């Protein structure tokens, strides 16, 4: 069953995103379907995206059928509606970066 979304941008530099999505079939349609599809394809190539709280990495395996993965992807640039906010995954302490890993980036 298709769900209709009209998401407002996080910043003035982005535009409203309107599309319809069927998470059971993974099908997208509507004006913004191409944008969403491209985002999903890029995330699948990388295998993860950073989400809230930044920079928490979330694995991306099947965003067109996973409301949680779709929420993380879209939440990077658009304000999520109530349905996608509810689907947004919570990150446990294991998902947060270990501060000791940051030592390699210190420039003296």
Domain ranges of the chain: 3-101
* Predicted TM-score (pTM) of this structure: 0.82
Structure-block tokens of residue 18: 């309107």
H or E, element range at 86 = helix 82-87
SS3 of 35, please?
A: helix
Structure-block tokens of residue 77: 């640039």
H or E, element range at 45 = helix 33-46
Residue 6 gets the label, from left (phi > 0), alpha (psi -120 to 50) or beta, of beta
* pLDDT per residue as tens digits for the range 23-82: 999 999 999 999 999 999 999 999 999 999 989 999 999 999 999 999 999 999 999 999
In this prediction, residue 91 carries a pLDDT of 73
């Amino acid at each position: 069953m298709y769900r209709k979304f009209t998401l407002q941008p996080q910043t003035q530099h982005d535009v409203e995103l309107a599309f319809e999505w069927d998470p059971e079939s993974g099908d997208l349609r509507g004006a913004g379907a191409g944008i969403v599809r491209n985002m999903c394809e890029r995330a699948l190539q990388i295998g993860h995206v950073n989400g809230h709280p930044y920079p928490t990495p979330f694995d991306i395996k099947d965003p067109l059928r996973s409301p949680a993965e779709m929420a993380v992807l879209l939440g990077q640039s658009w304000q999520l509606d109530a349905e996608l906010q509810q689907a947004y995954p919570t990150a446990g302490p294991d998902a947060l970066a270990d501060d000791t890993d940051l030592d390699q980036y210190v420039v003296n």
